[in-house]
Amino acid sequence: MRIVLLGAPGSGKGTQAKRLKVELGIAHISTGDLLRAAVKAGSPLGLKAKAVMEAGQLVSDDIVLGLLEERLARPDTSQGFILDGYPRNLAQAAALDALLVRLDQPLDAVVKLDVPDADIIERCKIRFEQEHRADDNPETVRKRLAVYAAQTAPVADFYAGRGLLTAIDGVGGIEVIGERLLAALRTRANA
Protein backbone atom coordinates (compact mmCIF):
# COMPACT_ATOMS: atom_id res chain seq x y z
CA MET A 1 0.00 0.00 0.00
CA ARG A 2 1.31 3.46 -0.93
CA ILE A 3 0.17 6.08 1.57
CA VAL A 4 0.60 9.80 2.17
CA LEU A 5 0.08 11.09 5.71
CA LEU A 6 -0.95 14.74 5.86
CA GLY A 7 -1.17 16.97 8.89
CA ALA A 8 0.41 20.03 10.42
CA PRO A 9 3.90 19.82 11.92
CA GLY A 10 3.55 17.99 15.23
CA SER A 11 0.22 16.35 14.33
CA GLY A 12 1.65 12.87 14.88
CA LYS A 13 2.45 11.85 11.32
CA GLY A 14 5.87 10.46 12.22
CA THR A 15 4.62 8.56 15.24
CA GLN A 16 1.77 6.99 13.30
CA ALA A 17 3.96 6.28 10.26
CA LYS A 18 6.37 4.30 12.46
CA ARG A 19 3.45 2.26 13.77
CA LEU A 20 2.10 1.68 10.25
CA LYS A 21 5.55 0.59 9.06
CA VAL A 22 5.45 -2.26 11.57
CA GLU A 23 1.76 -3.05 11.10
CA LEU A 24 1.85 -3.07 7.29
CA GLY A 25 5.48 -4.05 6.70
CA ILE A 26 6.20 -1.15 4.35
CA ALA A 27 8.83 1.60 4.25
CA HIS A 28 8.36 4.79 6.23
CA ILE A 29 9.72 7.80 4.36
CA SER A 30 9.89 11.01 6.32
CA THR A 31 11.06 13.98 4.31
CA GLY A 32 11.98 15.59 7.61
CA ASP A 33 14.26 12.63 8.40
CA LEU A 34 15.69 12.72 4.87
CA LEU A 35 16.44 16.43 5.30
CA ARG A 36 17.92 16.02 8.79
CA ALA A 37 20.16 13.20 7.50
CA ALA A 38 21.34 15.42 4.64
CA VAL A 39 22.03 18.25 7.11
CA LYS A 40 23.93 15.91 9.44
CA ALA A 41 25.97 14.57 6.53
CA GLY A 42 26.85 18.14 5.52
CA SER A 43 25.97 17.48 1.90
CA PRO A 44 25.45 20.50 -0.37
CA LEU A 45 21.68 19.92 -0.27
CA GLY A 46 21.90 19.45 3.50
CA LEU A 47 23.67 22.76 4.05
CA LYS A 48 21.06 24.61 1.99
CA ALA A 49 18.28 22.85 3.85
CA LYS A 50 19.80 23.66 7.27
CA ALA A 51 19.72 27.41 6.72
CA VAL A 52 16.13 27.31 5.52
CA MET A 53 14.91 25.01 8.33
CA GLU A 54 16.52 27.11 11.05
CA ALA A 55 14.71 30.17 9.70
CA GLY A 56 11.40 28.32 10.09
CA GLN A 57 10.83 28.15 6.34
CA LEU A 58 10.13 25.22 4.06
CA VAL A 59 12.94 23.67 2.04
CA SER A 60 12.67 24.10 -1.73
CA ASP A 61 10.68 21.61 -3.77
CA ASP A 62 13.67 20.68 -5.91
CA ILE A 63 15.77 19.66 -2.91
CA VAL A 64 13.00 17.59 -1.34
CA LEU A 65 11.92 15.93 -4.59
CA GLY A 66 15.51 14.97 -5.37
CA LEU A 67 15.94 13.35 -1.95
CA LEU A 68 12.57 11.63 -2.27
CA GLU A 69 13.27 10.22 -5.71
CA GLU A 70 16.53 8.72 -4.46
CA ARG A 71 14.68 7.17 -1.51
CA LEU A 72 11.87 5.69 -3.64
CA ALA A 73 14.47 3.94 -5.80
CA ARG A 74 15.51 1.73 -2.87
CA PRO A 75 14.23 -1.87 -2.93
CA ASP A 76 12.35 -1.62 0.38
CA THR A 77 9.70 0.59 -1.25
CA SER A 78 8.63 -2.01 -3.82
CA GLN A 79 5.81 -3.35 -1.59
CA GLY A 80 4.64 0.13 -0.62
CA PHE A 81 5.56 3.11 1.48
CA ILE A 82 4.28 5.74 3.84
CA LEU A 83 5.19 9.32 2.95
CA ASP A 84 5.36 11.51 6.03
CA GLY A 85 5.79 15.24 5.49
CA TYR A 86 5.43 15.32 1.72
CA PRO A 87 3.80 16.80 -0.30
CA ARG A 88 3.67 20.16 1.48
CA ASN A 89 2.15 22.27 -1.31
CA LEU A 90 0.18 21.90 -4.53
CA ALA A 91 3.29 22.04 -6.72
CA GLN A 92 4.83 19.18 -4.73
CA ALA A 93 1.58 17.19 -4.97
CA ALA A 94 1.66 17.54 -8.75
CA ALA A 95 5.40 16.70 -8.85
CA LEU A 96 4.80 13.65 -6.64
CA ASP A 97 2.01 12.46 -8.93
CA ALA A 98 4.32 12.79 -11.95
CA LEU A 99 7.14 10.98 -10.13
CA LEU A 100 4.88 8.13 -9.02
CA VAL A 101 3.45 7.74 -12.53
CA ARG A 102 7.00 7.54 -13.89
CA LEU A 103 7.88 4.95 -11.22
CA ASP A 104 4.57 3.09 -11.75
CA GLN A 105 3.74 3.42 -8.02
CA PRO A 106 0.42 5.32 -7.74
CA LEU A 107 -0.92 6.29 -4.32
CA ASP A 108 -3.55 4.09 -2.68
CA ALA A 109 -4.58 6.42 0.16
CA VAL A 110 -4.03 9.85 1.68
CA VAL A 111 -4.90 10.28 5.35
CA LYS A 112 -5.02 13.65 7.07
CA LEU A 113 -4.52 13.86 10.84
CA ASP A 114 -6.66 16.73 12.17
CA VAL A 115 -5.17 18.30 15.32
CA PRO A 116 -5.87 21.80 16.75
CA ASP A 117 -2.93 24.24 16.68
CA ALA A 118 -2.84 24.58 20.49
CA ASP A 119 -2.30 20.82 20.83
CA ILE A 120 0.42 20.91 18.18
CA ILE A 121 2.31 23.74 19.90
CA GLU A 122 2.26 21.81 23.18
CA ARG A 123 3.38 18.55 21.52
CA CYS A 124 6.27 20.29 19.75
CA LYS A 125 7.31 22.09 22.94
CA ILE A 126 7.68 18.73 24.68
CA ARG A 127 9.56 17.25 21.71
CA PHE A 128 11.84 20.33 21.61
CA GLU A 129 12.69 19.88 25.29
CA GLN A 130 13.38 16.15 24.81
CA GLU A 131 15.08 16.06 21.41
CA HIS A 132 16.37 19.65 21.05
CA ARG A 133 15.22 19.86 17.44
CA ALA A 134 15.64 23.44 16.24
CA ASP A 135 12.49 23.21 14.12
CA ASP A 136 10.39 22.42 17.22
CA ASN A 137 10.99 25.52 19.31
CA PRO A 138 7.63 27.25 19.98
CA GLU A 139 8.34 30.36 17.88
CA THR A 140 9.44 28.27 14.90
CA VAL A 141 6.40 26.00 15.28
CA ARG A 142 4.04 28.98 15.11
CA LYS A 143 5.74 30.08 11.88
CA ARG A 144 5.52 26.53 10.51
CA LEU A 145 1.80 26.36 11.36
CA ALA A 146 1.17 29.60 9.46
CA VAL A 147 3.06 28.25 6.45
CA TYR A 148 1.13 24.98 6.74
CA ALA A 149 -2.23 26.77 6.73
CA ALA A 150 -1.29 28.78 3.66
CA GLN A 151 0.55 26.17 1.60
CA THR A 152 -0.07 22.62 2.81
CA ALA A 153 -3.70 22.60 3.89
CA PRO A 154 -4.87 23.00 0.23
CA VAL A 155 -3.11 19.70 -0.61
CA ALA A 156 -5.96 17.91 1.19
CA ASP A 157 -8.40 19.35 -1.34
CA PHE A 158 -6.10 18.22 -4.17
CA TYR A 159 -6.31 14.61 -2.96
CA ALA A 160 -9.99 14.85 -2.05
CA GLY A 161 -10.62 15.77 -5.69
CA ARG A 162 -8.88 12.54 -6.69
CA GLY A 163 -10.96 10.49 -4.27
CA LEU A 164 -7.92 9.54 -2.16
CA LEU A 165 -8.41 11.61 1.02
CA THR A 166 -9.67 10.44 4.40
CA ALA A 167 -9.47 12.78 7.42
CA ILE A 168 -9.28 11.38 10.94
CA ASP A 169 -9.24 12.91 14.41
CA GLY A 170 -5.58 13.14 15.44
CA VAL A 171 -6.27 13.92 19.11
CA GLY A 172 -6.03 11.20 21.73
CA GLY A 173 -3.69 8.44 22.73
CA ILE A 174 -1.22 7.07 20.23
CA GLU A 175 -2.98 3.69 20.12
CA VAL A 176 -6.44 5.22 19.69
CA ILE A 177 -5.26 7.40 16.82
CA GLY A 178 -3.46 4.40 15.32
CA GLU A 179 -6.67 2.36 15.36
CA ARG A 180 -8.54 5.21 13.64
CA LEU A 181 -5.81 5.31 11.00
CA LEU A 182 -5.83 1.56 10.42
CA ALA A 183 -9.64 1.57 10.19
CA ALA A 184 -9.46 4.31 7.55
CA LEU A 185 -6.89 2.34 5.56
CA ARG A 186 -8.90 -0.89 5.82
CA THR A 187 -11.96 0.96 4.54
CA ARG A 188 -9.94 2.36 1.65
CA ALA A 189 -8.46 -1.08 0.81
CA ASN A 190 -11.93 -2.67 0.80
CA ALA A 191 -13.54 0.06 -1.31
pLDDT digits (tens, 9 = 90+) for 149-177: 998 889 999 999 999 999 999 999 999 99
User: Which whole number is the average pLDDT over 3-27?
Assistant: 93
Residue-wise pLDDT tens digits, 57-90 = 877 888 888 888 888 988 999 889 999 878 988 9
Whether 17 shows a pLDDT value over 80: the answer reads yes
Residue-wise pLDDT tens digits, 83-127 = 987 898 899 999 999 999 998 999 999 999 999 999 999 888 888
Least confidently predicted of 17-26, 35-44, 94-103, 156-165 = 35-44
User: Which whole number is the average pLDDT over 179-186?
Assistant: 96
How far is residue 23's CA from residue 20's CA, in Å, rounded to a whole number? Answer: 5
Whether 33 shows a pLDDT value over 90: the answer reads no
Three-state secondary structure readout of the chain: CEEEEECCCCCCHHHHHHHHHHHHCCEEEEHHHHHHHHHHHCCHHHHHHHHHHHCCCCCCHHHHHHHHHHHHCCHHHCCCEEEECCCCCHHHHHHHHHHHHHCCCCCCEEEEEECCHHHHHHHHHHHHHHHCCHHHCHHHHHHHHHHHHHHHHHHHHHHHCCCCEEEEECCCCHHHHHHHHHHHHHHHHHC
Sequence ranges of the domains in the chain: 2-27+76-190
Whether 45 shows a pLDDT value over 80: the answer reads no
Q: Are 3 and 70 in contact (CB under 8 A)?
A: no
Q: Are 23 and 48 in contact (CB under 8 A)?
A: no
Whether 56 shows a pLDDT value over 90: the answer reads no
For CA atoms 165, 115, 3, 88, the dihedral sign is positive
Identify residue 89 by its one-letter amino acid code: N
**Using 50, 70 and 90 to split pLDDT, how confident is the model at 26?**
very high
pTM of this prediction?
A: 0.84
Class of domain 2-27+76-190: alpha beta
How far is residue 136's CA from residue 140's CA, in Å, rounded to a whole number? Answer: 6
